[in-house]
């Protein structure tokens, strides 16, 4: 069977895409639904499934492009998809270009997969879900409260998209992709930047592989006092991709660049998957992306070009460790620090960019603090892999979103069983501490009874009996009581940090750092004030092993 005839419309189904458009001068984004016809493909026909997906993507992109021109939109973002049969007559009209009202339910699969239905009110929407729920809906398991939408609705029939021409073009692309690793990389690059307002500065047609030149995409944001640009440069022949963030507050420009060398398509896919870490806002904290890539074993470098004209290159060392860098900090003079949490033994902080800053304050300082509100803010996981806590930020155009705590039982294929939302950091911290207390082992202390610490990305907490209530100061004259282990954490390829309490005649704390794979290199400090100890400990966890601060 030829590729041109492997797809027909028999058994096809409707596929719905919900977007929000940013219209210049409008206060709120304008929602739009696009209905597409998804070709029916046998589950055994993997090549046909790839072709069908490519056809739908290209029809969607063509219609979305026309809508952006019609609406004079400057930006758009994906809200969700619905591929099961939505409830409501408006969803099945032959043509659209009308306004419709409907409700959406998020599901256990999380965004972008959602349920769409029409109902007179919220009560009726709940009734439809509970009583008329079809098998597809039951499998998706609706969660959260429904959200009502008043949306511009269009179909592919409204734009007379020629499925046959799209199909032939896709067949040509897939045929080329089967014979070209570089083509596949180009295709992945293009698809990675289709969403969220990215523009292509330099991109070649799929049949024109000018491999000696890079492909470029960029994203820009501006305000009256700040402007910024993120540029992505992709060089498939050299197996290299770089991200350059340029921010300017009209008096000072800062340029940060992070680059990656990849050796195969799998490493490139890892980089593209992590793009979602920072793509929603512009003043990107590239540190998180950088550290994730290092954990995947992908070579990287980091450059900062600001007042200090400092350039730091990150390279693989002979023992396969990496030179570590100092994370880029805002230049505003304000010190933004991570939120302190009491985390018991047996947990790993997979990543942490959860900073102590209120959204209201961030809105008043555009360009400086938006990077702290990302979809991936904090991820804590039990070291045995059984449970995990994921904190993200459901962002809106003006940061008027909410933090969302999602709890997962990884034994149940990572399915979420509880969610909590709030825009108040104190409420979120309370929810996190309560959850960690509920998950504690039998002999472990309550999370909210522990000294709260700002623990950086990648640290595993092997031991924590460091209580807020303090220790019994003072020992008997001439007698030395044994050391009391309070806290111990370890980070792969970095080292181990330990805190002891020494109950001597003059009590003190001892902080030790042992670098990974270097048994003879142990750094130790003594402290009489707990506050000073915590400050140095947090700084060491953030910057070890290359920059260890010392008091005084």
Q: What's the pLDDT at 433?
A: 92
Q: 3-state class of 512 per DSSP? A: strand
Q: Is the peptide bond before 545 cis (omega within 30 degrees of 0)?
A: yes
Of the candidate ranges 46-60, 127-141, 198-212, the one whose mean pLDDT is the lowest: 198-212
**Nearest alpha carbon to residue 444 among 428, 462, 457:** 462
Q: Residue 520's pLDDT band (boundaries 50, 70, 90)? A: low
Q: What mean pLDDT, rounded, does the chain reach? A: 71
Asked if the model's pLDDT at residue 204 lies above 90, the reply is no
User: With bands split at pLDDT 50, 70 and 90, how would you rate the model's confidence at 439?
Assistant: confident
Q: Is the pLDDT of residue 202 over 70?
A: no
Order of all β-strands in the sheet with 199-202: 199-202, 215-222, 227-235, 240-248, 253-261, 299-305, 311-312
Structure tokens at 73: 């939109």
DSSP string covering 438-505 = HT--TTSPPGGGBPPB-PPTTEEEEEE--BTT-------TT--PPEEEEEEEEETTTEEEEEEEE-SS
pLDDT at 174: 46
Looking at per-residue pLDDT, the higher value among 220 and 367 belongs to 220
Q: By the 8 A CB rule, do 341 and 429 touch?
A: yes
Question: Is it the case that residue 503 has pLDDT exceeding 90?
Answer: no
Between residues 90 and 372, the one the model is more confident about = 90
In sequence order, what are the residues at sequence separation of 6 or more whose Cβ sits closer than 8 angstroms to the Cβ of residue 367? 221, 223, 225, 226, 227, 228, 247, 249, 282, 283
Q: ∠ CA(190), CA(291), CA(341), 5° rounding?
A: 120
Going by pLDDT thresholds of 50, 70 and 90, the confidence category of residue 317 is very low
Are 458 and 295 contacting, i.e. CB atoms less than 8 angstroms apart? yes
- Please write the tens of the pLDDT for every residue from 322-350: 333 333 333 344 456 789 999 999 999 98
Percent of the chain at pLDDT > 90 equals: 14
How confident is the model over 225-243, as pLDDT tens digits?
667 777 778 777 677 777 7
Task: Inform me whether the pLDDT recorded for 178 exceeds 70.
Answer: no
Total-model pTM:
0.42
pLDDT tens column, 272-306:
666 554 444 334 445 555 555 555 556 655 554 43
pLDDT value at residue 479: 43
pLDDT digits 0-9 by tens, 361-415: 666 655 545 556 666 788 899 988 888 898 887 765 455 678 888 888 865 555 6
- Residue 20, pLDDT above cutoff 60: yes
Query: Per-residue pLDDT for 449 more than 70?
Result: yes
Higher pLDDT pick, 66 / 394: 66
**pLDDT mean over 459-481:** 67
Residue 319 pLDDT > 90, yes or no? no
pLDDT, mean of residues 493-512? 84
Which pLDDT band, with edges at 50, 70 and 90, does 527 fall under? confident
pLDDT-derived band of residue 13, with 50, 70 and 90 as boundaries?
confident
Confidence of residue 132 (pLDDT cuts 50, 70, 90): low
Exposure b/e, 206-238, CB count within 10 A at least 16 = b: beeeeeeebbbbbbbbeeeebbbbbbbbbbbee
Instruction: Determine the Cα–Cα distance for residues 211 and 194; give it in Å rounded to an integer.
Output: 21
pLDDT value for 521: 62
Instruction: At 66, give phi and psi (nearest 5°).
Output: -70, -40
CA 455 to chain CA centroid, nearest Å? 19
Whether pLDDT at 206 is above 50: no
The DSSP bridge pattern shows strands 142-155 and 30-40 to be parallel
Indicate the DSSP class of residue 3.
G
Name the token pair of 166: 């799209």
**Strand pairing report for 98-107 and 240-248:** unpaired
Q: Say whether pLDDT at 471 is over 90.
A: no
């Amino acid at each position: 069977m030829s590729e041109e005839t492997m797809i027909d419309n028999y058994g096809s189904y409707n596929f719905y895409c919900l977007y929000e458009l940013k219209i210049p001068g409008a206060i709120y984004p304008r929602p739009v639904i696009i209905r597409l016809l998804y070709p029916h493909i046998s589950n055994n026909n993997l090549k046909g499934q790839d072709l069908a997906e490519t056809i739908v993507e290209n029809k969607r992109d063509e219609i979305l492009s026309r809508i952006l021109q019609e609406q004079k939109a400057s930006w758009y973002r994906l809200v969700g998809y619905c591929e099961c049969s939505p409830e409501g007559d408006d969803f099945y009209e032959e043509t659209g270009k009308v306004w419709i009202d409907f409700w959406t339910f998020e599901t256990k699969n999380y965004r972008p997969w959602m349920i769409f239905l029409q109902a007179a009110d919220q009560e009726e929407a709940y009734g439809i879900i509970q009583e008329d729920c079809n098998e597809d809906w039951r499998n998706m398991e609706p969660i959260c409260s429904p959200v009502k939408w008043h949306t511009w609705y269009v179909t592919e029939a409204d734009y007379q998209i020629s499925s046959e021409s799209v199909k032939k073009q896709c067949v040509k692309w897939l045929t080329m992709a089967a014979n070209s690793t570089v083509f596949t990389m180009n295709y992945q690059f293009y698809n990675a930047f289709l969403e969220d307002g990215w523009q292509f500065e330099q991109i070649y047609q799929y049949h024109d592989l000018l491999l000696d030149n890079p492909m470029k995409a960029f994203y820009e944001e501006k305000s009256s006092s700040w402007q910024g640009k993120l540029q992505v440069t992709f060089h498939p022949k050299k197996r290299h991709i770089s991200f350059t963030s340029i921010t300017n507050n009209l008096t000072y420009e800062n340029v940060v660049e992070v680059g990656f060398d990849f050796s195969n398509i799998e490493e490139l896919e890892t980089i593209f998957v992590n793009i979602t870490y920072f793509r929603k806002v512009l003043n990107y904290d590239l540190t998180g992306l950088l550290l994730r890539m290092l954990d995947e074993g992908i070579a990287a470098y980091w450059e900062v070009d600001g007042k200090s004209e400092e350039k730091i290159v990150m390279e693989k060392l002979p023992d396969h460790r990496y030179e570590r860098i100092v994370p880029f900090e805002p230049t505003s003079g304000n010190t933004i620090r991570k939120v302190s949490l009491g985390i018991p033994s047996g947990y790993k902080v997979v990543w942490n960019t959860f900073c102590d800053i209120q959204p209201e304050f961030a809105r008043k300082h555009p360009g400086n603090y938006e990077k702290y509100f990302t979809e991936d803010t904090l991820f804590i996981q039990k070291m045995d892999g059984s449970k995990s806590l994921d904190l993200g930020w459901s962002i809106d155009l003006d940061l008027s979103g909410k933090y969302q705590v999602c709890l997962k039982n990884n034994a149940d294929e990572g399915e979420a069983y509880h969610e909590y939302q709030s825009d108040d950091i104190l409420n979120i911290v309370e929810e996190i501490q309560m959850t960690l207390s509920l998950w504690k082992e039998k002999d472990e202390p309550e999370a909210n009874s522990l000294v709260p610490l700002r623990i950086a990305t990648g640290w595993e907490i092997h031991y924590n009996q460091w209580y807020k209530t303090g220790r019994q100061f003072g020992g008997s004259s001439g007698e030395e009581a044994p050391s009391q282990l309070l806290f111990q954490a370890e980070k792969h390829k970095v080292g181990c940090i330990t805190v002891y309490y020494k109950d001597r005649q003059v009590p003190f704390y001892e902080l030790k750092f042992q670098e990974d794979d270097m048994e003879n290199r142990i750094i130790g400090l003594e402290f009489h004030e707990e506050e000073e100890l915590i400050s140095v400990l947090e700084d060491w966890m953030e910057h070890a092993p290359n920059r260890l601060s010392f008091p005084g």
